[in-house]
Amino acid sequence: MSRLRELGDRIAKRDAHVGVIGLGYVGLPLAIEFARRGFRVTGFDVNRAKIDDLRKGQSYIEDVPDAEVAGAISQRGFAATTDFAELSRCDVINVCVPTPLTRSKDPDVSHMATAMEEIRKRLRSGQLVVLGSTTYPGTTHELFVPLLESTGLRVGQDFSIAFAPERIDPGNRSFQVREVPKVVGGETPVCRDLARLLFEAIFDRVVPVSSTQSAEMVKLLENTFRAINIGLANEIAMMCDRLGLDVWEVIEAAATKPYGYMKFLPGPGLGGHCIPVDPTYLAWKMKSLNFPARFIELATEINGQMPDHVAGRVGDFLNEDRIAVNGSRVLILGVAYKANVSDVRESPALDVMKLLRAKGAEIAYHDPHVAELELDGSMLKSQDLSDELIARQDMVVIVTDHAAVDTARVVARAQRIFDTRNATRGVANGQEKIRRL
Residues annotated as catalytic (active site), given as ranges: 274
Please list the helix, strand and coil fractions of the chain in percent, rounded to the nearest 5, in that order: 45, 15, 40
Whether residue 199 contacts residue 182, with contact meaning beta carbons closer than 8 Å, is answered with yes
The rounded distance, in Å, linking the Cα atoms of 427 and 299 is 32
The rounded distance, in Å, linking the Cα atoms of 436 and 357 is 21
Phi, psi angles (nearest 5°) of residue 352? -60, -45
Task: Give the end-to-end CA distance of the chain in Å, rounded to a whole number.
Answer: 59
The rounded distance, in Å, linking the Cα atoms of 379 and 426 is 34
Neighbours of 261 (CB within 10 A): 11
> Which ranges in 168-293 belong to alpha helices (H)?
189-200, 212-243, 247-254, 278-288
Of 218, 219, 161, 157, the closest CA to residue 187 belongs to: 161
Those residues whose C-beta lies under 8 Å from the C-beta of residue 148, and which sit 6 or more positions away, are 116, 119, 120, 123, 129, 155, 159, 161
Neighbours of 10 (CB within 10 A): 16
Of 142, 137, 217, 224, the closest CA to residue 183 belongs to: 217
- Strand (E) or helix (H) holding 320: helix 294-320
Type of residue numbered 33: E
Of 413, 380, 378, the closest CA to residue 396 belongs to: 413
Of 432, 364, 367, the closest CA to residue 394 belongs to: 364
Whether residue 333 contacts residue 397, with contact meaning beta carbons closer than 8 Å, is answered with yes
